[in-house]
Structure 1
Amino acid sequence: MLLWLAELLAHYFSPFGVVQYLTFRAILGVLTALGLSLLLGPVMIRRLLSLQIGQSVRSDGPQSHLSKSGTPTMGGALILMAIFLSTLLWSDLTNRYVWLVLVVTFVFGAVGWVDDYRKVVYKNSRGLPARWKYFWQSVAGLGAAFFLYYTASTPAETALIIPFFKEVALELGPLYILFTYLVIVGSSNAVNLTDGLDGLAIMPTVLVGGALGVIAYLVGNTEFASYLHIPYIPGTGELVVFCAALGGAGLG
């Protein structure tokens, strides 16, 4: 959004041209998401406490967790809001990868919100039934997989690159859809298992998001891709803004 505005203003005031640089926008993405989290976090926590919205602890869990019943929940909504606003402000909104990750993130975030809502309103620690979680995860995962497969413009986009073996690339063909689906849904459930009352998932998410952002930047840059002998995939570099926003929101 602001990229388009900066490009327009650069015709009249050249310093605005710096916004076109991906690394600069990634830094702004981190700072924006971090600032939003730090600014709105305390307000949201106080609001949740005033509404008596807190975690419902499962009775079959560790006894030490029972004392944490009532801990403010739905904090993921704040993280998602910071990610979305920061990404929409600083990324190139004509990039298909940006919209794909935003849509998938929205669907998975909505599933998490409904899960928390059921726990809070109905005082049901189990939240949304597993079959419905898996159904909507599958809808998002398959949708993303089909979209990536049928919009791929180069063979490298649907190939499996083996780490440390730069000349090895397995052409998956239609199996790419299944592989992508398993990665998306499997990763989501892995994070869900890692998470808990103590927020165990946020730092791994920030670290993994940062690593994926670096990979996306390298793959989307012709010079780095050529130097490192890795496939060049146009447009993937823009995902570094999303990953930066994820890191900033998580740290906040």
Structure 2
Amino acid sequence: MLYYLFNYLDQLDIPGAGMFKYISFRSGMALILSLFISTLIGRRIIDKLQKLQIGETVRNLGLEGQMSKKGTPTMGGIIIIIAILVPVLLFGRLGNIYLILMLVTTIWLGALGFADDYIKVFRKNKEGMHGKFKIIGQLGLGLIVGLTLFLSPEVVIIENSEIRHNDVIEAVRYHEVETKSTKTTIPFVKNNNFDYAQLVSWAGEYKEELAWLVFVLMTIFVVTSVSNGANLTDGLDGLAAGTSSIIGVALGVLAYMSSHFQFASFLNIMFIPGAEELVVFAAAFIGATVGFLWYNAYPAQVFMGDTGSLTLGGIIAVFAIIIRKELLIPILCGIFLAENLSVMMQVAYFKYTKKKYGTGKRMFKMAPLHHHFQKPGNAGLDALVQKPFNVVPESKIVVRFWLIGIILAVLTIVTLKMR
């Protein structure tokens, strides 16, 4: 909202009003304000949650320090959501279609996660919302995002092509016309653009429509898988918030590069007009998650609950899809992927061994993966993977996962030049 106010003041030649035209200024202000909200106002929200006795219900799974978390306020994801929405509404250009999609994503999944937490806390149902309703909510958001990107005339890219001489890139030429396209960025290949239309090249005159159908289905899959991955990662103090903030930095960098003509040309990636507003959102996202760590870092004074974890995962997924970097998610969100895979492998191995031997066995001492390191090896658990034999302190597990997340984030950005 302030963008439009100061744009008007700038037309009246008011000194300093022109600062709001710069993405760097508005992003910096969004970062500062989100940090302020999540740290200072967050304390009041935590106190309110405590008064309402909205505490975490903990099952005794034999993990070190687990029972001490009982009663810790949950649903703290409200802090993150408020700390994102307020700065974006103030400093973002609200007519931007990409920013609108990110706001819808934040509110949609925030409401879905809140409903899940409400059932757990107030209705004393440990399972929370039935899984099928969660999936329906995630599928619905994926469908909205995918169809909007397909139907909106504002969603365009300017395609690029390399000019080579003796296998050396001499220049990158951009087409003058903005086009609707189902192209996306793919890592580790020479021409790092992949068009979903290639998957339906057999469709003839219906090729373009089917390509968008594939794109919409891909959007639904990415939103569902990444939001669930973030939800599974939220099991240790500061793990989901810290990992998400690292991913947010990488996404902000990628959005800025994709929206900057010179940087896009240098990296030979598609130029996406209007994507610069996503940098403002990324700054608010980073500030909100880092500020939340003030209270969520070990030992946590508040948990984000599904209100926060589903929202963080959905934001990351939709953001990556908008800037056409969804195929980089397996690298960038490697922590989420490992957590998802560990659960699927655990379940599959248990069913396989039960069918073959009559008794189900585990692959890990416990899943998701971060809990595996909290169990001692050879402690009576019939698990295929027993190492490490000694229990790893929770704070050390979290910091090591953060370090891995930083490496993956850097690698994701570097892949744009690794072909």
TM-score range, shorter chain: over 0.9
* Correspondence list, 1:77-226, <5 A: 77-151=78-152, 152-154=155-157, 157-165=181-189, 167-172=191-196, 173-174=211-212, 175-196=214-235, 198-226=237-265
SS in 1 for 2:71: coil
Which amino acid in structure 2 is aligned with residue 111 of structure 1?
Answer: L
Shift of 1:59: 5.0
Report the alpha carbon displacement of residue 99 of structure 1 after superposing the two structures with TM: 0.4
> Once the 2 structures are TM-superposed, how far is the Cα of residue 176 of structure 1 from its aligned partner?
1.1
Whole-Å separation in 2 of the counterparts to 1:111 and 1:159:
31
Query: Mean alpha-carbon deviation: is it higher for 125-134 or for 157-166?
Result: 157-166
Which structure would you say has the larger Rg?
Answer: 2
How far apart in 2 are the matches of 1:94 and 1:138? 25
Deviation at 1:54, TM superposition (A): 0.6
Distance, in Å, in 2 between the alignment partners of 1:9 and 1:42 is 36
Once the two structures are superposed, the pairs formed by residues 61-76 of structure 1 within 5 Å of their partners are 62=63, 64-76=65-77
Alignment match, 1:31: 32
TM-score (norm 1): 0.94
Contact 2:193/2:269 (<8 A) preserved: no
* 3-state SS, counterpart of residue 25 of structure 1: helix
Displacement after TM superposition at 1:87 (Å):
0.6
Cα separation, 2, equivalents of 1:227 and 1:125: 51
Tell me, in whole angstroms, the C-alpha distance in 2 between the residues paired with 1:146 and 1:60.
Answer: 43
CA distance in 2, matches of 1:53, 1:8: 45
Structure-2 change in CA distance of 1:54 and 1:160 (3 Å): same
Kept in 2: contact 1:156–1:233 (CA 8 A): no
Alignment check: 8 A CA contact 1:166 1:230 kept: no
Q: 1:194, 1:200 within 8 Å by CA — same for their partners in 2?
A: yes
Cα separation, partners in 2 of 1:229 and 1:166, compared to 1, 3 Å: farther
Match of 1:249 in 2: 288
2:5 is aligned to: 5
Cα distance in 2 for residues equivalent to 1:165 and 1:236: 24
Is the 1:55–1:119 Cα contact (8 Å) retained in structure 2?
A: no
Deviations 1:53-109 (A, max 9, x none): 111124567474233111101110111011001111111111000000110121111
The residue type paired with residue 181 of structure 1 is I
1:45 aligns with 2:84: no
What percentage of residue pairs aligned between the two structures are identical? 41
Unmatched 5+ residue regions in structure 1?
none
Counterpart CA distance in 2 for 1:168 and 1:227 is 13
Deviations 1:93-150 (A, max 9, x none): 1100000011012111111111111111012222111111111011001111111122
Amino acid of the residue matched to residue 88 of structure 2?
T
- In structure 2, the residue matched to 1:240 is 279
Q: Is the 8 A contact 2:120 2:127 kept in 1?
A: yes
- The alignment yields a C-alpha RMSD, in angstroms, of 1.7
CA shift in 2, pair 1:103/1:61, >3 Å? farther
CA distances 1:179-234 after superposition (whole Å, capped 9, x unpaired): 12111111101100101252420011111111111111110111211222111011
Distance 2:36 2:190 in 1: 39
Distance change >3 Å, CA 61–CA 177, structure 1 → 2:
farther
Q: Is the 8 A contact 2:93 2:277 kept in 1?
A: yes
* Aligned mates of 2:31, 2:133 — CA distance in 1: 33
Is residue 55–residue 70 contact of structure 2 (8 Å, CA) maintained in 1?
A: yes
Q: How far apart, in 2, do the equivalents of 1:92 and 1:85 lie?
A: 13
1:55–1:72 contact (8 Å) kept in structure 2? yes
Structure 1 residues 157 and 25: CA distance shift in structure 2, 3 A: farther
Deviates further, 29-38 or 6-15: 6-15
Distance 2:140 2:85 in 1: 21
Change (3 A) 1:89 1:61: farther
When structure 1 is superposed on structure 2, of 75-84 and 40-49 the one drifting more is: 40-49
Q: Residue 18 of structure 1 aligns with which residue? A: 19
Structure 2 unaligned blocks of 5 or more: 158-178, 197-210, 292-419
- Which letter does structure 1 place at the counterpart of 2:282? C
SS at match of 2:184: strand
Q: Distance in 1 between matches of 2:257 and 2:34?
A: 23
Question: 2:67 & 2:115 partners in 1: Cα distance?
Answer: 22
Contact residue 159 and residue 176 of structure 1 kept, 8 A: no
Distance across 2 between alignment mates of 1:140 and 1:168: 28
Distance in 1 separating the partners of 2:62 and 2:182: 42
Shifted more, 17-26 versus 194-203: the winner is: 194-203
